[in-house]
Structure 1
Amino acid sequence: MCTEVAAGGSIVLIADPQVLAIPVGQSTEPLVDLTQQTVIAYGPSPEIPNNQDYMFLRQTVYDKLVAAQQHLPPGYHFCLYEGYRSLLLQKMIFDQHFANNQARYPEETFDVIFQETIKLVSPVINQDGSDNVPPHSTGSAIDVYLIDDQGQPFDMGIHPKDWMQDAGGVLSLTDSTVISDAAIKNRRIMSDALSAVGFVNYPTEYWHWSYGDRYWAFVTQQPQSIYDQIR
């Protein structure tokens, strides 16, 4: 059985029916290209080489990230791992992680593997066959970690780029208990800063925060999301 993320048993997953039931907003707010600013640092192309889309964020999301950085202690800064992600790339990542889980749990059903997969990746096609609106495809989700004044990452327990190596998801959990005291402290610093400006966290991934997507609407009890997928 897929039991590694038992600690997340009470976590509402990103494609839970409660989340999918929330209407999608239609904001046409523009995107910010992080290459045109110097306030927020960003890392190399994630997931695939030469991806040029990941540095785009909705204007409000960018503004809130800048504001959140002001809540960090001296010597701490955010580094964006990934912002916008196309549906094509989202599907590729989901399919790869799904296949990895199938290989790891060959005795499990499709439904069990699907639920295991959405702990760390939002689907493009939901379990019932309907179309999904993954948070990254809306420009409202950010994957971030902390760096120092020299651009070196702080101990976060696991770097976002290594998420597929965390087969059971125990290191990625925001409230993981199997990481160092330093990593626990750094995650709390990051969480406090992002929460202070209105971001919400997906609890299976310490690095994933959003403002304006359906998961944000679910957590904050809003009647609908702000953003639809970028087309």
Structure 2
Amino acid sequence: MKPYQQIPIVECGEPLVAIPLELFAVESPHPYEKLGAPYGDRSPYYLRQSVLANLITAQNYLQQQHPNWRIQIFDAYRPVEVQQFMVEYSFAQIIATQKLNLSEISESDRQQIWQQVYQFWAPPSLDPATPPPHSTGAAIDLTLVDEGGNTINMGSAIDEISPISYPDYFANSTNAIEQQYHAHRQLLSNVMQTSGFQRHPNEWWHFSCGDQMWAWLSNQANPINTVIARYGREGARG
């Protein structure tokens, strides 16, 4: 169990609503649908109503500093079935990248690979008490684009399973280009956190508002005024 999964959830019942994609830049085609992830008749471009309102606020803050820049949405709502697909896909990618033969690796090596996967991916739990953040409709993966629609370079790709994806990986670099990567990550973080979001400790691109991870991070930042999660897994309510 991840630490944030111990946070209680009191579901508020707020609906999932469609993201008005015309307001944002969008990764198209959707990266997980392109891989064959099983969304069925559900769309990834949904968020809880208040989370979407905060995202729009974040883009307004961004444009106060950089007119005509936009938030680019990579992923938002994610059914547990898609979480399962992507966890298995990521495991297979590590196997392929390292040129390993799955039938020949030891159980210990297999578990080490799973540990790498779960540093970045939440377990695809169906337990209502431990939902994957994206399955609540309260988490979103994103980056920024400039006025020409060019993706801002953050120094690593979204979903890269590597320490380079840690938000502060470039914080102490003396290389000018890497300093710029850090500045871009900080810009994204600042506009999102100013709008009520919290950033995943291991992922510069992942932000949430109202789920267990958000509550856990909020309580770490302000232990005197503790909060609980208000969004559970969408579709898990009785």
Q: 2:80 aligns with which of 76, 80, 87?
A: 87
Letter in 1 for 2:233: Q
Q: 2:66 aligns with which of 66, 71, 74?
A: 74
Q: 2:165 aligns with which of 152, 172, 193?
A: 172
5+ residue gaps in structure 2?
220-225
Q: Does 1:64 align with 2:54?
A: yes
**CA distance in 1: counterparts of 2:110 and 2:74, whole angstroms:** 30
Asked if the contact 2:80–2:125 (Cα under 8 Å) also holds between the matched residues in 1, the reply is no
Report the alpha carbon displacement of residue 48 of structure 1 after superposing the two structures with TM. Answer: 2.3
Once the two structures are aligned, what percentage of the paired residues are identical? 27
**Secondary structure of 1:144's match?**
strand
**Do the aligned partners of residues 176 and 124 (structure 1) sit closer, same or farther apart at CA in structure 2, a change above 3 Å counting?**
same
Q: 1:230 aligns with which of 223, 230, 234?
A: 234
Count of aligned residue pairs for this structure pair: 208
Asked if the contact 2:73–2:140 (Cα under 8 Å) also holds between the matched residues in 1, the reply is yes
Asked if the contact 1:42–1:55 (Cα under 8 Å) also holds between the matched residues in 2, the reply is no
**Secondary structure of 1:187's match?**
helix
Tell me the residue number matched to 2:141: 143
**Do the aligned partners of residues 120 and 189 (structure 1) sit closer, same or farther apart at CA in structure 2, a change above 3 Å counting?**
same
Q: What's the CA shift string for 1:135-163, capped at 9, x where partnerless?
A: 00010001010001222111111232xx3
Tell me the residue number matched to 1:8: none
Q: 1:153 aligns with which of 141, 151, 154?
A: 151
**Secondary structure of 2:73's match?**
strand
Correspondences of 1:101-140 after superposition (within 5 Å): 101=94, 104=98, 106-107=105-106, 108=108, 111-125=111-125, 132-140=130-138
Runs of 4+ residues over 6 Å off in structure 1: none
**Do the aligned partners of residues 27 and 144 (structure 1) sit closer, same or farther apart at CA in structure 2, a change above 3 Å counting?**
same
**Do the aligned partners of residues 130 and 101 (structure 1) sit closer, same or farther apart at CA in structure 2, a change above 3 Å counting?**
farther
Q: Does 1:184 align with 2:182?
A: yes
Letter in 1 for 2:131: V
User: Which one has the bigger helix percentage?
Assistant: 2
Report the alpha carbon displacement of residue 110 of structure 1 after superposing the two structures with TM. Answer: 5.5
Alpha-carbon RMSD across the aligned residues, in angstroms, is 2.6
5+ residue gaps in structure 1?
1-14
Correspondences of 1:14-25 after superposition (within 5 Å): 15-16=1-2, 18-25=3-10
Report the alpha carbon displacement of residue 41 of structure 1 after superposing the two structures with TM. Answer: 2.6
Tell me the residue number matched to 1:11: none
Letter in 2 for 1:38: E
**CA distance in 2: counterparts of 1:195 and 1:157, whole angstroms:** 20
Letter in 1 for 2:60: Q
Letter in 2 for 1:74: H
**CA distance in 2: counterparts of 1:181 and 1:74, whole angstroms:** 18
Which of 110-119 and 73-82 deviates more?
110-119
Asked if the contact 1:140–1:212 (Cα under 8 Å) also holds between the matched residues in 2, the reply is yes
TM-score by length of 1: 0.79
**Do the aligned partners of residues 25 and 46 (structure 1) sit closer, same or farther apart at CA in structure 2, a change above 3 Å counting?**
farther
Tell me the residue number matched to 2:22: 38
**CA distance in 1: counterparts of 2:152 and 2:204, whole angstroms:** 14
Tell me the residue number matched to 1:5: none
**Secondary structure of 1:81's match?**
strand
